[in-house]
Structure 1
Amino acid sequence: MAPHLRKCRTAVAAALTTALLAPIPATAAEAGHPQGAALCTAGRDRTLAARMSQDIRAALSSRAGTVSVAVHDTRTGLVCELASRRRYDSASVAKVLMMEAALRRAQEWRRGLTGWEHRRIRPMITTSDNVAAQRLWSDLGYSYLARFLRRVGTTATTLGSYGRWGLTGTTAADQLRLLGVLTGAHDVLRPGSRAYGLRQMAEVRRDQRWGVPAGMPRGVRAHLKNGWLPRATHGWRVHSVGAFTGGGRTYRIVVLSHDNPSMAYGVRTIERIAQAVHRGLNKGRGVGRPLTPESEISEVPDGSAPAEGKDREPPA
């Protein structure tokens, strides 16, 4: 690593450590959810809902930071929400929005994706390429992206100003809706477009497949996108969103977090929640995806937002 990057990382780590000496308990993420209150409902399966509520709270016990959770399972009707309307900087999970908007635009224009669009979408999702994301964001334009969000029915997602897509504000509830575009929960994309989007998210490279896949059983396929970005306020934003298919069911898991003292800490919090959800929805099935070893979690930001102090400058 170049000396100037090493120096920058050291300075950021020191600043975040100072800012997070008194972290916010994750279990107190939302005043509207008093300790012990049910986080989940599941139609007539009250046992599943109660057990999942308890397991999610247990996964968050003793964890610092601010965490929001949204879960939906098509088979049982399970819905879980914890601080699902709390706003976060989206970091690289905004790339799912861009991909979906590009697919919708192609559909409206009665054509398939162009070669140019495909060459931006694939690396943007599978390797989290930021140059590809910036070009696609500029090509789609603020007005079209805002119109797409309205069509999907998001209520609290606001696009980043000056083209700063990584600072798009979003909530777990809105991210769950955006995942629903790909799983067919909302009538926005045709089946072929949905399948294309899910395929990109299933092929995210190995070192970026941490987060919500943790604890998923064999025979289930993960379609995910993550975001990881430190800022002077709220420390590390560490997010993971994913749709899971297989075994005759589809379910979605969204975990957004900030106030994390490090990326690894945020990843571990997310993975503890994901384990609880996968275990509850797949009783009796062997676990196929373990927790990500901390030695495999990089502390290098995803690069989805500029360095502090440059947020208000328009891109060159």
Structure 2
Amino acid sequence: MTLSKIAPKVTLGLFVVAVSASAVAPASTATVPHEPRNIKPSHGARSIKSSLDARSIKFTSKRLKGGLIECASENPGLAAFLTRDIAKSLKNRASKASVVLYDRTTHTSCAYGADKHYDSASIVKPIILGALLLDRGVHLSEEKKDLARQMIVSSDNDATYTLWDSVGPKNIQNFLDKAGMKNTVLDEAGFMGLTQVTARDQAKLLELLTAKDNSVLNAEERTYILGLMRDVQKDQRWGTPAAAPSDAAVQVKNGWLQRSETGLKNSWDRGDWKVNSMSAITGRAYDYGLVVLTENNRVPEGESPEVGWDYGMDTVEGVAKAIHHDLYPDHTPPATGNPSL
């Protein structure tokens, strides 16, 4: 991946996850009558807009240092399993993390730190492509199509900045507004990877791309973006796809960023890696999305920079494995937990 047009001592790349945790409290549960399109659980889960049309929805929560894991599901026991296993995957991690899940098939949603801002790194790239298609439609020039493929499939930063400059911040903001991604903030200096994103907004993007609503992008445009995310090259398909159902279609975009290369000598970030991952899981009966954002993946003094990146990736994949297995245990390998726990 190229690293041009990035702020001094900032590198960009693909995303993987790490999180904060400890002091897990017992889960609390409650069953409430369902009111179509007016579900109001506590802050985290209430705006995960999967369609919940069962007679009752079960809500569970589990407190983790730094926030509350909240899940809602019409499937008895599933919400409790998810809150428990998300907490298990995060409780011993030193980093900070946010998680958002929606599943239209099982009518399930989960949120942890959903509105915390993170540097986007490369997960901003589907946003740029969405803005391009909203502005110009799917019938792009061959040059633009080639740049779009490089941007998504191989996460090329030079191609990304060419499209970023071509589309322009005004059109990108217009896409964000139409998509309801109100908490996503473009970097004023124009560094695409320093766009401030939240797990909730990125989940909104996945929902937009996989829905049948043509109000922002039409079916052809949505299919175009998902097709490129499905073609992401093999060495960049880690993170949230880990242990996804083997018979599913997996559309992924990852991102990683290290604020500096000076490690612990830099008092600003001490080699802090930001590792992010997002996936839409579709095909057959699957219709769900998962976003995991992480930061504070530190590089111990004397260690190579990749240690922080690996730590983030391990955390993301620990969360992903637990979630995929809880949702579809008959179609995923057994959850083995996080290798560093």
Bucket of the pairwise TM-score, normalised by the shorter protein? 0.7 to 0.9
Match of 2:331 among 276, 282, 285: 285
How far has the Cα of 1:28 moved from its partner?
7.5
Residue 210 of structure 1 pairs with residue 205 of structure 2: no
Tell me which residue corresponds to 2:98.
Answer: 68
Tell me which residue corresponds to 2:317.
Answer: 271
For 1:150 and 1:90, the matched residues in 2 are separated by 17
User: CA, structure 1 residues 208+293, in 2 after alignment: closer, same or farther (shift >3 Å)?
Assistant: farther
Q: What does 1:76-115 align with in structure 2 at a 5 Å threshold?
A: 76-107=106-137, 112-115=139-142
How far has the Cα of 1:123 moved from its partner?
0.5
For 1:289 and 1:197, the matched residues in 2 are separated by 30
How far has the Cα of 1:91 moved from its partner?
0.5
Given that 1:122 and 1:200 are in contact with CA atoms closer than 8 Å, whether structure 2 keeps it comes out as yes
For 2:20 and 2:336, the matched residues in 1 are separated by 25
Match of 1:145 among 172, 186, 200: 172
Match of 2:249 among 200, 221, 232: 221
Deviations 1:2-59 (A, max 9, x none): xxxxxx99xx9xxxxxxxxxx9843579x987349652101x3241111111110011
Deviations 1:46-78 (A, max 9, x none): 411111111100111211100000000011111
For 1:83 and 1:286, the matched residues in 2 are separated by 26
Tell me which residue corresponds to 1:34.
Answer: 63
Given that 1:214 and 1:291 are in contact with CA atoms closer than 8 Å, whether structure 2 keeps it comes out as no
Tell me which residue corresponds to 1:15.
Answer: none
Residue 200 of structure 1 pairs with residue 228 of structure 2: yes
TM normalised by structure 2 equals 0.73
Structure 2 residue matching 1:204: 3-state secondary structure: coil
- The Cα RMSD (Å) is 3.0
Q: Bigger CA drift: 240-249 or 180-189?
A: 180-189
How far has the Cα of 1:185 moved from its partner?
6.2
For 1:83 and 1:293, the matched residues in 2 are separated by 23
For 1:199 and 1:288, the matched residues in 2 are separated by 29
Tell me which residue corresponds to 2:84.
Answer: 54
User: CA, structure 1 residues 257+286, in 2 after alignment: closer, same or farther (shift >3 Å)?
Assistant: closer
Given that 2:324 and 2:332 are in contact with CA atoms closer than 8 Å, whether structure 1 keeps it comes out as no
How far has the Cα of 1:238 moved from its partner?
0.1
Deviations 1:246-270 (A, max 9, x none): 2222110000000012000000000
For 2:166 and 2:283, the matched residues in 1 are separated by 35
AA aligned opposite 1:56:
I
Tell me which residue corresponds to 1:173.
Answer: 200
For 1:158 and 1:57, the matched residues in 2 are separated by 29
For 2:218 and 2:334, the matched residues in 1 are separated by 31
Tell me which residue corresponds to 2:217.
Answer: 189
Tell me which residue corresponds to 1:242.
Answer: 279
Higher helix share: 1
For 2:229 and 2:283, the matched residues in 1 are separated by 15
AA aligned opposite 1:176:
A
User: CA, structure 1 residues 89+197, in 2 after alignment: closer, same or farther (shift >3 Å)?
Assistant: same
How far has the Cα of 1:178 moved from its partner?
1.2
How far has the Cα of 1:286 moved from its partner?
3.9
Tell me which residue corresponds to 1:309.
Answer: none
User: CA, structure 1 residues 51+24, in 2 after alignment: closer, same or farther (shift >3 Å)?
Assistant: closer
AA aligned opposite 2:286:
R
Tell me which residue corresponds to 1:123.
Answer: 150
AA aligned opposite 1:74:
R
User: CA, structure 1 residues 76+89, in 2 after alignment: closer, same or farther (shift >3 Å)?
Assistant: same
Higher strand share: 2
Given that 1:217 and 1:289 are in contact with CA atoms closer than 8 Å, whether structure 2 keeps it comes out as no
For 1:25 and 1:271, the matched residues in 2 are separated by 14
AA aligned opposite 1:267:
M
Amino-acid identity (%): 35
> Which structure is higher in RCO with an 8 Å CA cutoff and minimum separation 6?
2
